[in-house]
Amino acid sequence: MPPVGKPIEIHAGFRFVVQVDNINTAAFTECTLPRLQVETEDIKEGGLNAYIHRLPVRVNAGTVTLKHGVTKSDELLNWYLQVLQGQIKNATRNVTLIIFDSTRKVQIAQWAFNQAYPIRWGGPTLRTGDSAVAIEELELAHRGFTVV
């Protein structure tokens, strides 16, 4: 908790950069960080009817979702196709998300996702009467992350 009288810093969520190893042509417009959840096991104790013991089992680290406008580059789709072809080891990348302050010079937070690989690719919705940007979506699984 901050000292009394010191304002709490809150930062906008649109000043961010996503870095993916070996992929340099994607500028992401949206990133959804994973939801962390602790899986539990319920233990019912005989004679104790007031509550159930809920014990932690493991942490589900969730997935990361990246969105960006469709470009001529097919690097992200090719990354996903590596997984479809069973080349998981070759498809793993380190993915880093960095949030900046309003000046884009000071780093506020950084998440590093280890050995990430795409598990879902979604193409854009195309409509003749729509003038919106065509958005490509990529969902990533990972093997843990660190907060820097």
pLDDT of 24: 63
Structural domains of the chain, with CATH:
16-147 (2.30.110.20)
pLDDT of 93: 93
CA-CA-CA-CA torsion sign (46, 47, 49, 51): negative
Range list of β-strands (E), 1-148: 16-20, 28-32, 37-43, 53-60, 64-69, 93-100, 107-122, 135-141, 145-147
Average pLDDT across the chain, whole number = 87
DSSP-derived secondary structure letter, 84:
H
Which of 17, 8, 5, 21 lies closest to 92 in space, CA to CA? Answer: 21
Q: pLDDT above 90 covers what percent of the chain? A: 45
Q: How far apart are CA 49 and CA 97, in angstroms?
A: 46
- For 83, phi then psi, to 5°, come to -65, -45
What would the mean pLDDT of 115-140 be, rounded to a whole number? 89
Question: Tens digit of pLDDT for each residue in 67-116?
Answer: 988 888 888 888 999 999 999 999 999 999 988 887 878 888 899 999 99
pTM over 0.85: no
